[in-house]
Amino acid sequence: MRQLDLVVIVLYLVVIAYVGLRLSGKQKSAKDYFVGEGRLPWWTVSFSVVATETSVLTVISVPGGAYSGQGFGNVELALGYVIGRVVVAAVLIPLYKRGGFVSAYQYLGERFGLKLQGLASVTFVFTRLLAEGVRLFASAIPIKLLLDEFGLNVGYQAIIIVLTLITVVYTYLGGIKAVIWTDAIQMGLYLGGAILAIAVLSHAVGFDGYSQALDAGKFQLFDTNFALSHVLTSPFALPTAIIGGAIFAMASHGSDQLIVQRILSTRTLREGQKAMISSGIFVVIQFAAFSLVGALLWSYNKGQTFKELGLASSDNLYPSFILHALPVGISGLLVAGILGAAMGSLSSALNSMSNSTVADFIHSFFRKVPSDDAMLRLARVMTLVWAVLMAIFACAFSSSTGNVYLTGLTIAGYTYGALLGAFLLGRLVKRANQVDAVIAFLVTVAVMTYIVRYVKIDVTTAGTTTATAIAAQWLVPIGVLITLVVGAVSSRFHPAPDTPYDHGRTDEVDDDAAAAPAGRA
């Protein structure tokens, strides 16, 4: 009976909220609410980083992508992500730790001025609203499928609202500690679900199933088609995945407050670096597990198309298998794992957006900074505000029309290049000031909006030519290049500052200095 699945899911939702609140304790300050006073263990933070970036987009889209022809291309992508994280760990994390920041954009405030800090924060929260709207909608897909099994015609909007309400409870009260601890638990659940699905599918298809999937190219790791049009448009072309993926990871993990906030909650610089690099290794393992699920599902379904299986899109493949091919109770547990991925990314986004609002907006646009108690109250209020807006964005979707994972990457392409470019401009162009940075930032966002929406490249496959958008991984390096060029050119129109900003030597940052609270909120 499917009632058992619902019981498992409801119990999971109640338990995860309770555990999050118990582990987080009472929040005493805004800094405690946002970065846990910098005292969280690195391995927990690493798991939280993985859970934050994984979300439902990975859990449901990667198996469908592997099934439909991407093979293990997402693992190839993850290798590029590891390279990008190593650079972030070596270059940017020391800056944040040395400054005692609770927001990545406080560096921009110190380097260029509060106006750029505020602009970067506004850009971050706007991008998060769009990207998390996609993620939150994706989380409703398996729940709707389950309810359909009962003959209950519940819309995506109702599911989104309920999911948001449950998540906001522990995020509102527990702050970053609740978010990180529950993320770690949820990562274990959805990754365990993938391993369980692999075991079930392996038993069903046997060695022959693996052999058939291998012959059909479902285990292909590297895409070695180096045709220029293919490299520019395919997310899985080798240069795109490795080079573009590395630069994309530098932006997503070095200049996006969603991830940086977690690293800032570690105890020391070295622990922050370990959390960053190890998270990349875990992502490689995750992508391999979910890709293997997709390859084995291809053998399990004997290569039938999504239309032949009666599925609306590739994003319905894994949820449909969970509901129809696994024992009752087990399927409920795996759906709970998908919910765990959704709640992990949602709670992380809410807390980081609240953080950015308080740490960046208040300091950038108001002369008088409120007391710490007032900041803590404001942090909680903004958590609720962003939860409402996030649900509204998610409800704007009415159906699943394709691979939501790649949709999420494309949304990031609008702004990630400008964000990472601003950090690199501050590091590389010493004569650049706030006006140069603001001009470069705005020009980059405008140009990238045009590129994402209108620039297409003709790709010919099997005699058919199709106008195809530039691969999402190239959008970040293009944006970074525009920011650096515009900022550098603009800086030539004014005298060099008498005292250029001192970047300091990052290799002199020791663990004790990095761990010492700076009193910022």
Burial of 222 (0-12, 13-18, 19+ CB in 10 A): middle
Instruction: Over range 305-310, report the average pLDDT.
Output: 83
203, two tokens: 């038993």
pLDDT tens digits, 66-78: 888 888 988 998 9
Whether the per-residue pLDDT at 240 is higher than 80: the answer is yes
User: Tell me, what amino acid is at 248?
Assistant: F
Greatest mean pLDDT range, 313-322, 425-434, 477-486, 510-519: 477-486
Prediction pTM value: 0.76
User: Phi first, then psi: what are they for 456, rounded to 5°?
Assistant: -130, 155
Helix, strand, coil percentages in the chain from 3-state DSSP, rounded to 5? 75, 5, 20
Amino acid 165: pLDDT? 84
Question: pLDDT > 70: what percent of the chain?
Answer: 81
Which residue, chain included where needed, has tokens 């505020």? 118
Computed over every residue of the chain, the mean pLDDT equals: 79
Cα–Cα distance for residue pair 44/197, rounded to 1 Å? 25
Cα 429 → chain centroid = 29
Task: Grade residue 442 by pLDDT with cuts at 50, 70 and 90.
Answer: very high
- Weakest-pLDDT range from 87-91, 150-154, 306-310: 150-154
Q: Which residue has the higher pLDDT, 447 or 319?
A: 447
Task: Grade residue 364 by pLDDT with cuts at 50, 70 and 90.
Answer: low
The helix/strand/coil state of 151 is coil
Phi and psi based region of residue 442 (left: phi greater than 0; alpha: psi -120 to 50; beta: remaining): alpha
Task: Grade residue 498 by pLDDT with cuts at 50, 70 and 90.
Answer: low
Q: Which residue has the higher pLDDT, 203 or 374?
A: 203
Instruction: Over range 385-413, report the average pLDDT.
Output: 68
pLDDT tens digits, 18-59: 776 676 556 565 666 655 556 778 888 888 888 777 766 677
CA angle 318, 186, 32 (to 5 degrees): 145
Instruction: Over range 312-330, report the average pLDDT.
Output: 80
Amino acid 439: pLDDT? 93
For residues 267-292, b (16+ Cβ closer than 10 Å) or e, as one string? bbbbbbbbbbbbbbebbbebbbbbbb
Task: Grade residue 295 by pLDDT with cuts at 50, 70 and 90.
Answer: very high
Cα–Cα distance for residue pair 104/437, rounded to 1 Å? 16
Whether the per-residue pLDDT at 123 is higher than 50: the answer is yes
Task: Grade residue 510 by pLDDT with cuts at 50, 70 and 90.
Answer: very low
pLDDT tens digits, 474-483: 988 999 999 9
Amino acid 513: pLDDT? 42
Instruction: Over range 164-171, report the average pLDDT.
Output: 78
Contact yes or no for 229/459 (Cβ under 8 A): yes
Instruction: Over range 95-118, report the average pLDDT.
Output: 76
pLDDT tens digits, 180-235: 777 777 788 788 888 988 999 999 888 898 999 898 889 988 888 888 888 888 88
The helix/strand/coil state of 510 is coil
The helix/strand/coil state of 428 is helix
Contact yes or no for 75/329 (Cβ under 8 A): no
Cα–Cα distance for residue pair 406/417, rounded to 1 Å? 17
Amino acid 469: pLDDT? 82
Amino acid 397: pLDDT? 65
Whether the per-residue pLDDT at 292 is higher than 90: the answer is yes
Cα–Cα distance for residue pair 354/34, rounded to 1 Å? 9
Task: From residue 264, give the alpha-carbon distance in Å to each of 88, 120, 121, 208.
Answer: 13, 18, 17, 48
Cα–Cα distance for residue pair 429/452, rounded to 1 Å? 27
Q: What is the DSSP letter of 40?
A: B
